Structure 1
Amino acid sequence: MELNFQMKDEGFLGELPYGEIHISGNDDFGFRPGQLMVSSIAVCSASVLKNVLKKKRLDVQDMKVTAQATRNPDEANRIEKINIHFVIKGTGITEDVVEKAVELARKHCPMVQSVKDSIEIEENFEIIRLSI
């Protein structure tokens, strides 16, 4: 995979197949690199979890994901931990099944696997059961 970025006054511009992405250390001019990293990890994990739940033929009608990063200001403000919280809405969904699905998602998410030895990833979830 090759990505190309062009310098601009405040940050960089990337031309990607889906469109442009503006990246900057300043919120006024684009996405911050840390936001992109945490987003990549959280959404990758959620996408793999969605696919695992689908393969288990669960009736998932909605899923939201929240990511909270903990940074270390003494080490270049590096990301040390990311908590990923899934809110899953559906019918017939149990904690046991989702817990196993989250474990599978962790093992099969390329972004989580890429950072697992340097960033602590913690996942948790809640289930909102919908009436049939």
Structure 2
Amino acid sequence: MHFKMTEHGFEHTTTFGTLVVSGNEDYGFRPYQLLVSSIAVCSGGVLRKVLQKKRISFKDISITADVTRNEAGVNEVTDIALHFTIKGTDATEDAVAKALALSTKNCPIVQSVNQSIRITETFTLID
């Protein structure tokens, strides 16, 4: 990856477009937003694959991420609480809990930060 400095941050061009990153969200994504997004989406993507492999049907997955930062320090991310809402499934809570535990174990981004950021995961099943 290559990042080029701009007046307000940095840019990276991909085949999908330009990623603009800035400490000021008036000019682009803030770095912590990308960190949290990477963790949430990686975890959700692995959960999706695990559910599919276990032949657990579902219509939709949405993720809410609540972030805690240490304002007394350098404002680092200390905790991320991920909440998955899984719609249109007939799976039991036990089956989804096992799938979520397996996805956490196999998400490379979660495993990359699990020694420095506390990540908790919960879920709700909706018909």
Distance in 1 (CA, whole Å) between partners of 2:63 and 2:12 is: 26
Q: CA RMSD in A?
A: 0.8
Query: For structure 1, which runs of at least 5 residues remain unmatched after alignment?
Result: none
Alignment deviations for residues 10-62 of structure 1 (CA, whole Å, 9 cap, x no partner): 00111123221000001110000000000000000000000000111111101
Displacement of 1:93 = 1.2
Distance in 2 (CA, whole Å) between partners of 1:101 and 1:62 is: 15
Secondary structure of the equivalent of 1:67? Answer: strand
Aligned runs of 1:62-101 on 2, under 5 Å? 62-101=60-99
- The residue number in structure 2 matching 1:43 is 41
Secondary structure of the equivalent of 2:116? Answer: coil
> In the alignment, which of 96, 105, 114 is matched to residue 116 of structure 1?
114
Distance in 1 (CA, whole Å) between partners of 2:119 and 2:89 is: 28
- TM-score when normalising by structure 2: 0.97
- What fraction of aligned residue pairs are identical, expressed as a percent? 50
Query: For structure 2, which runs of at least 5 residues remain unmatched after alignment?
Result: none
- Count of residue correspondences: 127
70-79 or 9-18, which moves further after superposition? 9-18
Distance in 1 (CA, whole Å) between partners of 2:111 and 2:3 is: 25
Displacement of 1:125 = 0.2
Secondary structure of the equivalent of 2:59? Answer: strand
- The residue number in structure 1 matching 2:23 is 25
- TM-score when normalising by structure 1: 0.94
Distance in 1 (CA, whole Å) between partners of 2:8 and 2:27 is: 6
63-72 or 15-24, which moves further after superposition? 15-24
Q: From the two aligned structures, give the one with the greater strand fraction.
A: 1
Distance in 1 (CA, whole Å) between partners of 2:14 and 2:67 is: 26
